[in-house]
Amino acid sequence: MIRRRGGSPLEDDDMLGEILLRLPPQPSSLPRASAVCKRWRGLLTNPGFLRRFRTHHREPPLLGVFHQLEFTPVLAAPDRIPFGCLDLPTRDLWGRLLDCRHGRVLILHRFRPEVLVCDPIMGDQQCVPIPPEFKRGYLNGTVLCAACDKGHVHGGCHSTPFKVVLLLSNDRRPLTSVYSSETGTWGGLISTEVPCLYSCNGYISTLVGNVLYWSFMYAKMCILGFDLERQSIDVIKGPPGMNRTHSHRIIQAEDGTVAIVMLSYRYQNIQIWHMKVNCHGVSTWVLWKTIETDNILGLPTQVGGEQELLKYILGYVEDTDGIFLDVNDSIYMVQLNSLQSRKLCETRDITSYHSFRSFYAAGDCSSQILIL
């Protein structure tokens, strides 16, 4: 008796889709697969498949970092983004980089009272005038996706609405307001009193849940939390040792709560503190982990033997365990869990590094094969 062989799984579109869905979310994956044949290309460029692809992977890859309006790719070939592909369109005309999140970049204009919201992948930009109350004082800002549909995955938010949060540190009353791209208007002014406030100069926000956190410097360090849902500001006393600019960074702990990664210049190690909140709403800090720099793979071996080589924490890869560490004027991306690192560049600038994460398809920058 002769048995008839069944068709190949690759001949079934549904089965093929399930297989292609499991390709890694790196920039080269889908363009390479789409070059196999016309049928594969049609499947991979289908908007429904691209939505499922993002949902399946949830977390977009880290493509690179923005530093002083310039993009530096961090991936290796063939996933490395060519220089110039994600350059900001008005790099020479605009001023200070405020934030980078959910595939968008927020820039404060050098001369005019407005901010620019850029989508580097699509090349889109939108100017947002600043309220008059925010024209005097040191200004920080945050941009974030405002999509609220069920199952939305950040990293492909090119056409979704967004919010801009401005934070003005002036005297002892930080001032906050939220802009909505859906309404094109700013919300009300929100403020609170902070004792002996100095400024949030040099610190970028960290989003944990629905709360944005900034570090403030005054006689003793404190943290300001802005709840996006309640539209309220809370002031939280920080852990001991937060007494130097760029010596720490607010991060998200593995359990989803607030934590702080901090440099100990005395012992040349890295400390991770977790914030615990009791039933009365009182927060305390617990030293959760101490990391000896000699145990981090990829860092110079002399870091533990010479003073002040471990200089600054200049950034954090949100929703991950990655930080950007200045070691002897070289920037390293350090993974706090795996204790691995790799050198990104050399610099003498003490400015923040903003991670840029997004789903992206490699190819000719002028005409992308796939827009995720």
Pick from 156, 124, 160, 154: which is nearest to 47 by CA? 156
pLDDT score, position 343: 92
Asked whether the predicted pLDDT for residue 159 surpasses 90, the reply is no
* Percentage helix, strand, coil for the chain under 3-state DSSP, each rounded to 5: 10, 40, 50
Asked whether the predicted pLDDT for residue 372 surpasses 70, the reply is no
pLDDT score, position 243: 72
DSSP class of residue 359 equals: -
262 pLDDT tier (thresholds 50, 70, 90): very high
d(CA 90, CA 110): 12
CA 242 to chain centroid, in Å, comes to 22
CB atoms within 10 A of CB 49: 16
Asked whether the predicted pLDDT for residue 7 surpasses 80, the reply is no
pLDDT score, position 154: 77
Asked whether the predicted pLDDT for residue 265 surpasses 90, the reply is no
What is the pTM for the complete model shown? 0.88
Pick from 270, 177, 186: which is nearest to 232 by CA? 177
Interstrand relation of 340-346 and 175-180 (parallel, antiparallel or unpaired): unpaired
> Helices 47-57 and 13-20 sit at what angle, rounded to 10 degrees?
40
pLDDT tens, residue by residue, 33-46: 999 999 999 999 88
pLDDT tens, residue by residue, 114-151: 999 999 988 888 999 999 999 887 889 999 998 766 66
pLDDT tens, residue by residue, 203-244: 789 999 999 999 876 545 788 899 999 999 988 888 888 877
299 pLDDT tier (thresholds 50, 70, 90): confident
Interstrand relation of 232-237 and 211-216 (parallel, antiparallel or unpaired): unpaired
Asked whether the predicted pLDDT for residue 1 surpasses 50, the reply is no
Q: What rounded mean pLDDT belongs to the chain?
A: 84
Q: Give me the DSSP letters along 2-22.
A: PPPPPPPGGGSHHHHHHHHTT
